Structure 1
Amino acid sequence: MDVDFFAGTRGQLFRVTHTPAQGPVRGKVLHCQALFEEQNKSRRMVAQQSRRLAAQGWVVVQPDLYGCGDSDGDFEEARWADWIGDLKCCADDLEARYPGPLVLWGLRAGCLLLSELTHVHGLSPALSILWQPVSRGDQYLNQFLRLRVAAAMMGQGRESTRELRAQLDSGTSLEVAGYTLHPEWVAALANADLQPAKGESICWCEVTANDQQPLSPVSDRLIQAWRQSHVNVDVLRVIGEAFWSTQEICEVPDLLDRTTERVAEVMKT
């Protein structure tokens, strides 16, 4: 595992790179993080998956987006379009330095960024892996704003998501759960909808509490619509806890196993 900084669109970005300890490089994987506390909760799972893929011959890069983690900038300075540009810089660097197919791997809202990356910049990965993807940025934003609504209620205050959205629409930045949201960034997130990433195939991964729990109606409708449009998408359902949101850090070994197996299939096609 190596750590370094590379030049992004607006500043230096921190990245972790996992490389094979021995043998030839089979390909490369670009990971796009979850946002807010979901990123912190999922670091262990992402690191474990990266190590597993590296052991199978893949170079895996985990960049911190601008304003996140150890990269330059504050979150309030982040812009959605700049994040797309930074991911393109990282993908270009991977293509220049390592042989083999490119795999894109997103987690939660990171899947929105990767799908937009493929459409804006014409990337065509051999495989896109979507871990518990957020399908609608607008809905995700409202869920995050409810954290501030709940905090206000605990302090005997009263706010609503509609009022908070109105403040953002008027050009006012808002602090939510320790993150300052800029109206321009919020507008881009609210307009982001998950599109089928360009490329050969998509692997949609969902973690469920038990084997009787179906996919959410939103996910099921979207997957069916993609398939009707002749998008090559397969679904992996594994049993486990929602590691990106649990109070304690937890692991879902089956998700690691099956993701590793799915990436290995890239070399067989």
Structure 2
Amino acid sequence: MIPATWPLSGENTGEEMALVCDRARPCRLLIVPALFDEGNRLRRFTVEVMRRLDRAGIDTVLPDLPGTNESLLGLETQDAGLWREAMQHAARHFAATHVLGLRGGCLFTPDLPALHYAPVKGAQILRGLLRARILAAREAGLEENRDSLIETARREGIVLAGYPLGAALFRELETLEAGPAEVIAQDRIGGSGLWLRAEPDENAAQADALAAILAEALQG
């Protein structure tokens, strides 16, 4: 597993980073990561799934969404269209044959045979981020109103859990839902979702289960 780069085009320019397991094999899976804090909590789990798929003969690519992780672009400049376009470019660059979306990443999977792990609506993501901001403010002795925060976010953007969301992305997430795909629900994996934990974690049994489901879906 090594780092690699891939080119952007359109409104976003430059290069983005990706983590790849690439041996030029026929099955090539692009993984669109979970968003924001969930992406951090699921990163180790995602890498463990990639390692298992490598042993199963499947190449994998985990790209950064522009404005996240190692990206040099500002998150506040991104919107749903730019993220979809970026994932489409990554899929073409790495010659992906299939795509896996993780949680909020399911909202931005490109036009390939798709699998969605525990997909979530954009509105649910925003609810969790808003709740975290209000609780953090309360602990600091401040009171923030959810409706006022939403009004501000729609108009000028907002910082939620340390993530500066532009107004366009916030408005789009309010109504965004994942497209058609084979859904892998958490009950097929077993246990509770690792995105629910307070810190990044991994679970070998869950990684085994998800990798097995993916390998069967991709290789038949």
Identify the match of residue 112 of structure 1 among 107, 114, 118: 107
- 1:117-128 matches, within 5 Å, as 117=110, 123-125=111-113, 128=114
Bigger relative CO (Cα 8 Å, ≥ 6 apart) = 2
Counterpart for residue 132 of structure 1: 118
Establish whether residue 255 from structure 1 lines up as the match of residue 211 from structure 2: no
Is 1:146 the counterpart of 2:137? The answer is: no
Q: Which residue of 2 aligns with 1:192?
A: 176
Structure 1 residues 138 and 3: alpha-carbon distance in aligned structure 2, compared to 1, 3 A threshold:
same
Q: Deviations over 1:170-189 (max 9, x none)?
A: x2221122111110111111
Q: Residue 12 of structure 1 aligns with which residue? A: 15
**How far off is 1:74 after superposition?**
1.9
Map residues 35-184 of structure 1 onto 2, 5 A cutoff: 35-95=35-95, 102-114=97-109, 117=110, 123-125=111-113, 128-134=114-120, 136-169=121-154, 171-184=155-168
Helix, strand or coil: the match of 2:69? Answer: coil
Note the C-alpha offset of 1:92.
1.0
Percentage of identical aligned residues? 26
Query: What do you get for the CA RMSD once the two structures are aligned?
Result: 1.9
Q: 1:112 to 1:267 in 2, by over 3 A?
A: closer
Per-residue deviation, 1:268: 5.2
Q: State yes or no: 1:265 paired with 2:216.
A: yes
Amino acid at match of 1:133: P
Say if 1:81 and 1:254 are closer, same or farther in 2 by CA, change over 3 A: same
Structure 1 gap ranges (5+): 118-122, 208-235
Higher gyration radius (CA):
1
For 1:166 and 1:268, locate their aligned partners in 2 and report how far apart those are by CA, in whole Å: 47
**2:79–2:168 CA contact under 8 A, matched in 1:** yes
Per-residue Cα deviation, 1:103-158 (whole angstroms, up to 9, x for no partner): 211111001111xx3xxxxx241xx3322210x21232122111111112112222
Structure 2 gaps of 5+ residues are: none
Distance 2:217 2:140 in 1: 52
Number of aligned residue pairs? 217
8 Å Cα contact 1:241-1:251 kept in structure 2: no
Q: CA deviation at 1:75?
A: 1.4
Offset at residue 60 of structure 1 (A): 0.3
TM (norm. structure 1) is 0.74
- What CA distance in whole angstroms lies between the structure 2 residues aligned with 1:176 and 1:268? 40
Contact between 2:186 and 2:192, CA under 8 Å: does it hold in 1? Answer: no
Q: One-letter code of the match for 2:67?
A: G
